[in-house]
Structure 1
Amino acid sequence: MNLNATDLCLTVDGIDHLKNVTATFQPGRLHTVIGRTMAGKTTLLRVLAGLQSVDSGSLTRAGADLLKTPVWRRDTAMVYQQFINYPHLDVFHNVAFPLKRAGLSREEIGERVRHSLARVGLAQFEKRKPSQLSGGQQQRVAMARALARGTGVLLLDEPLANLDYKLREQLRDEFRTLFSDQGDTIVVYTTTEPAEAMMLGDVVLVMHEGRLLQTGTPQEVFERPATTTVASIINDPPMNIFPGRIERGQVKVSEFQATHTSAHLADLPDGAYRFGLRATDVSLAADGVESEVTFVEISGSETFVHVVVGENAFVVQIEGIHDLALGDLVKLRPRPDRLFAFDEQGALVRTPSYDLASVEGR
């Protein structure tokens, strides 16, 4: 049974927390909601859970009006970013708590708890208190408690956000396996991380300032971002966006002081456009345009070089560790065949051809 949200609106102190949000959440699929801080992701989950009212709109499942259904009667479980466990209870009784409240028999409670703990890799930790567990293990306890309830809707609000990088990577892989075995459960997972959204999601929903900008598969959203805003949100680092023109089938970008020919853009009408280029599609080359380094960050075996060209800032992602400093001059060379074209209002006009393998984790 689908969970249908239609035109959900919520305004608080003149700020739109949700603005005409319409989405369909399907059983057996993992929906990742990605957006920056204050995008409305947590608000949406709270509305789905019944913890937040709205000004207008509808929320239905199997013909039932969920906006008029009390929280305790909804078939929903939620895992928060700040994982919540009962410090005085051991792991077993933390997971068993909602089952006891539901009046299940001791035998069924034991079976559900042990099954859920085994699924999250905590079968040997039943007697431990939360204080005796690592942060990742405590998050798994909260997950096991939600899984043990066996609800039709499972909501996860940035459950990995407070964990260190290595642990996030480990749990992402485990979660993908875990969620693939959810049967007919609707899973909605919020994140600010593009890689996480692409890796985990069957369906990706992109939110910004209370609005749902695009819904699609990871491939669709990655290859065809509907707007420049979506392109920035779904890429890490954000896609480089800069102005230019098309004249007689040629792309002219003043920042690069060059005229480029790109087959996928050749038939577009002459005029002003906004072009997009991923950080991996700009390289450092001796024959490139000169630019000034404003910031350098090294992440593992990659270097992110922030530069200024004319009035526009760019980020270049290159392999290896490079010894660059603030104020250094480098030369950039873009890949015209990788240019995205948007109109002046930011709507997608044309995309390059991307290999499916470029969608991380898929």
Structure 2
Amino acid sequence: MQLKLARVGKKIGAETWLHPLDLEPRESAITVLLGVTRAGKTSLMRLMAGLDAPTTGRVLVDGVDVTGVPVRRRNVAMVYQQFINYPSMSVAANIASPLRLRSETDFMPRVREIARTLHIEEFLDRLPSELSGGQQQRVALARALAKDAPLMLLDEPLVNLDYKLREELREELGALFDRGRSTVIYATTEPGEALLLGGHTAVLDQGELLQYGPTLEVFRRPASIRVARAFSDPPMNFMAAHAGPGAVSLRALSDVSLPAGQDVPAGDVTVGLRAVDLSLTDQGGDCRIPGRVQLAEISGSATYVHAETPVGNLVAQVSGVQHHGLGDAIDLHFSSHRAYVFGPDESLLRAPLAREA
């Protein structure tokens, strides 16, 4: 199924929820809608589903205008953060319900396969009320997968699950989507989730579509500072700089510079660095920024070191458990080849050479 949004926008009263946008998700593939809460992801999905009508523009399916067609007349599967299950049916019956509606008979092997993928096979005989919130969310997701609809809309479906299970299901869902025929729209606030799911990503912010393309391409070449902010976790570090003949120098540390090149015109610019590209050792780095530790927080197998520096507050993501005291003097190192450069209008001028995300 080919879905196309043509200058679709949404207003409620005087408030703009979605600015007019064009989007054509890849057919039978996954498109991730990435953005913070209230970026417009859910509003956009409701227009795709037919739950709401756009204020402007058209929604087309296989070239047919379905803008005014309600959701009950569309073949759509949806899963939201707030799970919805049939309370009087067993888990197995919940998952099988769309298959029964299609008058399928030998559906239990399919039900068990999906339940096994989502780690709920042992709960097939239970009622939803006997499950935890995370388990009930997986039942709702299993029912949507069983429906195998041409369009599947998933609005942060894993948000209620624990970290370890989310990591496992992201990989398994990605494989399921690759094998299926559905056009999948998957909304998330987490850049890491978008990278794991792959496919294409549409970055949204304040109701605007900022960039759409292959996920790795958007991650590696964010079109603007706004996209870079949305697609970085922890947030990308930004530093005021000036581009002169042959070099881009940090304003507060003029001795820290990187090659300018023909793609960076002279004038004020912004240098961006992902936290993972800042190191506490000088191995592989030709630039150094002195600082003092504000906070060192451990997250999984990494430590986020927050430092006060002459160019502003920076965050470095370093591997392993690192112990630093408040106010400790440190040096942050980075390679000039890993730096982004953005122009006065915040558009991307130069990105680092591609490497694995």
Partner of 1:48, secondary structure, is: helix
CA contact (8 A) 2:269 2:344 kept: yes
Residue in structure 2 matched with residue 195 of structure 1 by the alignment: 192
In the TM superposition, what are the counterparts of 1:23-102 in structure 2 within 5 Å? Answer: 23-100=23-100, 102=101
Q: 1:267 to 1:28 in 2, by over 3 A?
A: closer
Q: 1:182 to 1:205 in 2, by over 3 A?
A: same
Residue in structure 1 matched with residue 224 of structure 2 by the alignment: 227
TM-align CA RMSD? 2.3
Report the TM-score, using the length of structure 1 for normalisation. 0.90
Deviation at 1:3, TM superposition (A): 0.3
Partner of 2:241, secondary structure, is: strand
CA contact (8 A) 1:5 1:22 kept: yes
1:206 equivalenced with 2:212 (yes/no): no
User: In structure 2, how many angstroms separate the alpha carbons of the residues matched to 1:89 and 1:267?
Assistant: 62
Instruction: Choose which of 233, 246, 249 in structure 2 pairs with 1:249.
Output: 246
Residue in structure 1 matched with residue 156 of structure 2 by the alignment: 158
User: In structure 1, how many angstroms separate the alpha carbons of the residues matched to 2:104 and 2:337?
Assistant: 63
Deviation at 1:75, TM superposition (A): 1.5
Q: 1:118 to 1:334 in 2, by over 3 A?
A: closer
Deviation at 1:317, TM superposition (A): 1.0
User: In structure 2, how many angstroms separate the alpha carbons of the residues matched to 1:140 and 1:163?
Assistant: 9
Q: 1:20 to 1:106 in 2, by over 3 A?
A: closer
1:335 equivalenced with 2:332 (yes/no): no
Instruction: Choose which of 197, 202, 212 in structure 2 pairs with 1:215.
Output: 212
Residue in structure 2 matched with residue 344 of structure 1 by the alignment: 344
> Which stretches in structure 2 are left out of the alignment for 5+ residues?
none
CA deviations 1:117-164 (Å, max 9, x no partner) are 455454554311123334443223112211222311000000011111
Residue in structure 2 matched with residue 138 of structure 1 by the alignment: 136
Residue in structure 1 matched with residue 299 of structure 2 by the alignment: 299
Q: 1:288 to 1:339 in 2, by over 3 A?
A: closer
Deviation at 1:76, TM superposition (A): 0.7
Residue correspondences, number: 353
Query: Which letter maps to 2:139?
Result: V
User: In structure 1, how many angstroms separate the alpha carbons of the residues matched to 2:253 and 2:137?
Assistant: 48
Residue in structure 2 matched with residue 182 of structure 1 by the alignment: 180
User: In structure 1, how many angstroms separate the alpha carbons of the residues matched to 2:246 and 2:299?
Assistant: 38
User: In structure 2, how many angstroms separate the alpha carbons of the residues matched to 1:258 and 1:285?
Assistant: 19
Deviation at 1:27, TM superposition (A): 2.0
Q: 1:15 to 1:258 in 2, by over 3 A?
A: farther
Query: Which letter maps to 2:213?
Result: G
Moved runs in structure 1, 4+ residues, more than 6 A? Answer: none
> More displaced, 152-161 or 62-71?
62-71
> Which stretches in structure 1 are left out of the alignment for 5+ residues?
none
CA contact (8 A) 2:256 2:288 kept: no
CA contact (8 A) 1:92 1:127 kept: yes
Residue in structure 1 matched with residue 280 of structure 2 by the alignment: 284
CA contact (8 A) 1:119 1:178 kept: no
Partner of 1:283, secondary structure, is: coil
Deviation at 1:114, TM superposition (A): 5.0
